[in-house]
C-alpha cells in the first residue's frame, strides 16, 4: 500500500481566493473540524502548548465526536484504493488539527501504514479571535 500524507492547518492562516474563501491544502479529503469539534482552548492549561504535546492530544481526543472522527478517518485511509493525502483544519492549526493529525498518524502506523506528517501552522502564535473557532 502507498504511503499516506497527513496535513494539519489553520483556516485563519490560509491564502484566500478572490471571493475571500480560504484555500485549503490539496488533499483527497479535507476535514474541517472548526464546527465539528469544540475549541479545546477552554482547557486553559493547553493554551501555550501545541498538538505534539500529549496533554493537547488528550483534551482533543476527549472532545465529543473526536474518537468517531479518528475511527472514520482511519477506516477511510485504509480503503483498498485509499487516499494519498488527508488534510485536517481548525481555526489556527495549533490544537485540534495538529493534535488529531498526530493521533491519526499513530493509529495508521499501528495498522502498519507508512505515514508522512506535515503541520503547516502549528508553529504560529495562537489565534485569539475568529468568527468560527
The domain ranges of the chain are 4-119
CA pseudo-torsion sign 90, 46, 6, 119: positive
Tell me the whole-structure pTM to 2 decimals.
0.91
Going from the C-alpha of 68 to that of each of 25, 83, 94, 115, the distances in angstroms are 23, 19, 21, 20
**What is the C-alpha separation between 65 and 14, in angstroms, rounded?**
25
Q: What is the pLDDT of residue 41?
A: 67
Check if the beta carbon of residue 89 is closer than 8 Å to that of residue 11: yes
Transcribe 83-131 into DSSP letters.
Answer: -SEEEEEESSSSSHHHHHHHHHHHHHHHTT--EEEEESSTTSPPP---S
What digits encode the pLDDT tens for the residues 35-71? 988 877 677 788 888 999 999 999 999 999 999 999 9
Q: What is the pLDDT of residue 43?
A: 75
Check if the beta carbon of residue 70 is closer than 8 Å to that of residue 105: no
Q: What is the pLDDT of residue 13?
A: 93
Q: What is the pLDDT of residue 131?
A: 46
Cell numbers standing for residue 69 = 472522527
Cell numbers standing for residue 17 = 481566493
Q: What is the pLDDT of residue 128?
A: 64
What average pLDDT values come out for the chain (133 residues) when binned by 10 residues?
Answer: 93 93 95 89 81 93 95 94 94 94 97 96 76 46
Amino acid at each position: 500500500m502507498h504511503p499516506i500524507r497527513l496535513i494539519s492547518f489553520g483556516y485563519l492562516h490560509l491564502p484566500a481566493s478572490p471571493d475571500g474563501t480560504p484555500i485549503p491544502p490539496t488533499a483527497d479529503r479535507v476535514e474541517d473540524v472548526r464546527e465539528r469539534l469544540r475549541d479545546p482552548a477552554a482547557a486553559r492549561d493547553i493554551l501555550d502548548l501545541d498538538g505534539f504535546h500529549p496533554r493537547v492530544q488528550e483534551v482533543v481526543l476527549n472532545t465529543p465526536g473526536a474518537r468517531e472522527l479518528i475511527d472514520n478517518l482511519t477506516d477511510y485511509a485504509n480503503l483498498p484504493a485509499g487516499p494519498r493525502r488527508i488534510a485536517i483544519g481548525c481555526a489556527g492549526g495549533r490544537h485540534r488539527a495538529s493534535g488529531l493529525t498526530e493521533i491519526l498518524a499513530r493509529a495508521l502506523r499501528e495498522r502498519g501504514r507508512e505515514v508522512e506528517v506535515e503541520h503547516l501552522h502549528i508553529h504560529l502564535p495562537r489565534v485569539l479571535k475568529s468568527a468560527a473557532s
